[in-house]
Every structure is written in structure tokens, then in C-alpha cells.
Structure 1
């Protein structure tokens, strides 16, 4: 099981504010990615899922799928702090579809650097 280490998580409100205020975003049909260059030598990530997508069980499943998809491609991510915002429809996707859509969104935002 792939888990995101504590050093790779964004938790502080000030970090979220800095990322959202930078207004640097990219999107596809399922995800919006807000980003800012990282002050560390690795990426940091947070996942945001709206209550409009479903109850707590559904939202936690979506977050878990997205976190696993991020960790599966973590070696190819640039040193960036980013927040992944899930759009309506993500809750119906399988893991493979989540991974494919997330990889596409990260490529559009130039965070994913395929080696």
C-alpha cells in the first residue's frame, strides 16, 4: 500500500492560501491543479474533495484513489507544491481511470516530467 509521507503533505492553512493566491492552475474534466514552486527539494501535495461529490465514505474513497495515483508516479513529479481539486464525476471512476486523468492533468500543469 502506498501512503503519502508526512513530509509530502500540505496541511497548513497558510500553505493552502499561498497556493490558491498564486492563481497558477491547470485543469481537465476531472481535476483542477493549483501549484506554486516548492521551497523544499521535493513535491508536496494536498487533495480537496467537495461535499457535493457525496458522503464521507465516497469522498474518502476518492481521496484515497488520488493519493495512491500520486504515489504511483511520485518519481516523475517536479519539486512543486500543488493542490488537487476533484471535480464532479471522479467518484464514479476506477483506479486506472483516476490515474489516467490525474496523469493528464499533471502533464497539462507541467508537474509530471516523464523520464
Structure 2
């Protein structure tokens, strides 16, 4: 994931937590807010110490960033968002985590619509 697509500053995290919207499923919480100055999107990942030791937390962080990197073309532009991992996500496989991340992003309406897909009757 490119450096310019990451949220790093405490001020950015606080701005999103205070002024953003949130959606959740049992594995993840997403906080997001619009940021017109940003070209694509920026991602912040938060993994609590309650989930495990540093190895577990860093693995979760890496897996989440990779999932978002692979799905970057599906995510809407001009937003900042934070993905927070919850306890059930630790025991899941990568494919299940990917499905869960896409689910919470779809729930938050942060995925682009499918232009070529026809509605099913």
C-alpha cells in the first residue's frame, strides 16, 4: 500500500472519529469521512491489544492492508477511513477476512457501484 494512501496523524484519526460516520459487523468497524483534497482514499488500521500480542496485531494489520490494496479499485475516491479489527477477526482465514471487510465497506456505502452488472430480476 502506497505511503500517501495511509492515515498516520493523530489529528486525522481524531477528525474521522469525531466527525465521521461508522458502520460495523461482528469482525470490523469502519469510521469514514469525506476528504475532497485526497485523490483516491486513505486508510488507517487500528488493532487493539485485546486481540493479542504484537505478532497477532501486526499480522492483522498487514492482512487488512493487503485486502484493501487488492480491492482498491472498488473503493470510492475522496474519503478517509479507519478499519478497526474486533476479536472474532483474529481466528478467521484471509478469504473470510476479505469477505468481511467488503461486507462492512458495502454496508457503509464505500464501494463503487458496478457499472457493467445488470440487475437480476
Structure 1 length-normalised TM: 0.93
1:17 to 14, 18, 32: 14
1:33 to 4, 25, 30: 30
Alignment of 1:89-108 (within 5 A): 89-108=88-107
Tell me by how many angstroms 1:31 deviates. 0.4
Larger radius of gyration: 2
2-side partners of 1:23 and 1:69: how far apart? 22
Structure 2, unaligned stretches of length 5 or more? 115-121
Structure 2 equivalent of residue 113 of structure 1: 112
1-side partners of 2:75 and 2:109: how far apart? 9
Per-residue CA deviations over 1:35-92 (Å, capped at 9, x if unaligned) read: 0002312100011000000000000111111111101110011121000000111111
Structure 2 equivalent of residue 55 of structure 1: 53
1-side partners of 2:87 and 2:47: how far apart? 9
The count of aligned residue pairs is 112
Q: What is the SS of the residue equivalent to 2:102?
A: helix
Alignment of 1:79-98 (within 5 A): 79=77, 80-98=79-97
Q: What is the SS of the residue equivalent to 1:110?
A: coil
1-side partners of 2:65 and 2:20: how far apart? 23
Alignment of 1:63-82 (within 5 A): 63-79=61-77, 80-82=79-81
> Where has structure 1 moved over 6 Å in runs of 4 or more?
none
